[in-house]
Amino acid sequence: MAELKNDRYLRALLKEPVDRTPIWMMRQAGRYLPEYREVRAQAGDFMSLCKNPELACEVTLQPLRRYPLDAAILFSDILTIPDAMGLGLYFEEGEGPRFERPLKDFMDIAALPVPDPEQELGYVMDAVRTIRKALNGDVPLIGFSGSPWTLATYMVEGGSSKTFTKIKTMAYQEPEALHLLLSKLADAVTLYLNAQIAAGAQSVMIFDTWGGVLSHRDYKEYSLGYMQQIVEGLTREADGRKVPVTLFTKNGGLWLEAIADTGCDAIGLDWTMNIHDARKRVGDKVALQGNMDPAVLHAPPERIQQEVQMILDGYGYGTGHVFNLGHGITPDVDPEHAKVFIDAVHDLSQAYHTPE
Ligand code: CP3
């Protein structure tokens, strides 16, 4: 494989020196971009877009054509695994993801297959190969998966939830059923991410969007423990380079030290954390990714620049910071404001690094 032309995202995750702070945005390919909406309409619906490697590649590259981002992220969804397990994923307009056959009990869980990533999820691997080729070494490609706990919430609730009643009832009433589900998902996620790495993903991220709804003890038992198992099973080197792993638990600020102890390379922070305190708490163990509130993108340009400055200042001098939002960019953001944000990180971050 050809050399990477811009590797500051990988270098920052590994705490190697960089000339400025790298940046990418969660959900950088998405509905806030008119060119995305156009391709999505052409595909028909969101899952058809995910299942078409050429179109998935096209929308992955769209934000990189507009902005000087330091990484591309595979265009797909975390719910591809439950879909491949046979639950029947569909998207109800304006209501988010749904499953035709949510999991009800131990019997359903015992019958679940662990999908072969090159078969049932072959379309994802094809997308990774297509995107990697199209990127031509410009920037690294990030692969991703949901965490076992976050996937399980959708599979048991049947879709998005506010209270997580069904899965929590399972946790308190039938914990062995939930553990069986989570251990199958940990196996499936490990295979899936390793297949993405084999197909060309140069870094991987695990999205634990719902870990933060668990009690203090349950987070370790039902979410972190399974993410640790995945981290231990991942391919950590490919093409002669390290493949950094980022864990992102939304509302996970309580558990930073424990997350850093899993052996991951970086922790994703949501905007509720003070990044200065987070850096003090994790020390040299891991890099940090984050953490601007995505809602700041609605503010006027000066306010966006001010917020970027405060976060850069909070993290302080030196490598180990990947700039990002604290969660995905929302569909109502003006693409010009995203540009102000990204340019501000470029311009203001150089002062925090030593020129080579
Ligand atoms: O970051 C990127 O650009 C890569 C693509 C990506 C998507 N989903 C595309 C997408 C990633 C990394 C995800 C992860 C994902 N999907 C998560 C974890 C991260 C997070 O946001 O918390 C979760 C919980 C999901 C499940 C999911 N998929 C939800 C809740 C939704 C939103 C439904 C809605 O109508 O808003 C999706 C759909 C989805 N995934 C869209 C995109 C661009 C919007 C689909 C569309 O209508 O075009």
Q: Is 1 within the bounds of a domain?
A: no
At 114 the pLDDT is 98
At 2 the pLDDT is 61
| Active-site residue, selected from the candidate residues 154, 192, 226, 315 | 154
Atom of ligand 1 lying closest to residue 31 CA: 48
CB contact at 8 A, 99 and 87 = yes
| 236 labelled catalytic | no
Within 6 A (CB) of ligand 1 lie 26-31, 40, 46, 73, 75, 77-79, 96-97, 144, 160, 207, 209, 328
Contacts of 234 (CB under 8 A, 6+ apart): 190, 193, 194, 197, 204, 243, 245
Q: Is 312 within the bounds of a domain?
A: yes
* Pocket mutation for ligand 1, best pick of 9, 66, 77 (most atoms within 8 Å of C-beta): 77
Q: How far is the CA of 256 from the centre of ligand 1 (A)?
A: 24
Distance CA 75, CA 327 (A): 16
| 154 labelled catalytic | yes
Q: What angle do CA 124, 130, 134 make, to 5 degrees?
A: 145
Q: Is 138 within the bounds of a domain?
A: yes
Two structure tokens written together for 242: 């390290």
Q: Is 24 within the bounds of a domain?
A: yes
Distance CA 81, CA 104 (A): 18
Phi and psi, residue 324, nearest 5°? -160, 175
Q: Is 314 within the bounds of a domain?
A: yes
| 77 labelled catalytic | yes
Give the closest residue (by CA) to ligand 1 atom 41.
30
| 219 labelled catalytic | no
How far are the Cα atoms of 240, 259, 320 from residue 265, in angstroms, in the given order? 17, 10, 10
Taking the CB of residue 101, how many other CB atoms lie within 10 A of it? 13
Q: Is 186 within the bounds of a domain?
A: yes
Half-sphere exposure of 283 (CA within 13 A, CB side): 5
Classify strands 266-268 and 245-249 as parallel, antiparallel or unpaired.
parallel
* Pocket mutation for ligand 1, best pick of 9, 23, 27 (most atoms within 8 Å of C-beta): 27
Q: Is 2 within the bounds of a domain?
A: no
* Pocket mutation for ligand 1, best pick of 36, 78, 79 (most atoms within 8 Å of C-beta): 78
At 62 the pLDDT is 98
Distance CA 206, CA 156 (A): 20
Find the helix or strand (DSSP H, E) in which 248 lies: strand 245-249
Q: How many domains does the chain have?
A: 1
Q: Is 3 within the bounds of a domain?
A: no
**Residue 259: CATH number of its domain:** 3.20.20.210
At 55 the pLDDT is 98
Q: Give the pTM.
A: 0.97
Q: How far is the CA of 351 from the centre of ligand 1 (A)?
A: 34
Reading the chain (356 residues) residue by residue, the pLDDT tens digits are 568 999 999 999 999 999 999 999 999 999 999 999 999 999 999 999 999 999 999 999 999 999 999 999 999 999 999 999 999 999 987 789 999 999 999 999 999 999 999 999 999 999 999 999 999 999 999 999 999 999 999 999 999 999 999 999 999 999 999 999 999 999 999 999 999 999 999 999 999 999 999 999 999 999 999 999 999 999 999 999 999 999 999 999 999 999 999 999 999 999 999 999 999 999 999 999 999 999 999 999 999 999 999 999 999 999 999 999 999 999 999 999 999 999 999 999 999 998 76
Distance CA 146, CA 155 (A): 12
**Domain assignment of residue 258, given as a range:** 8-352
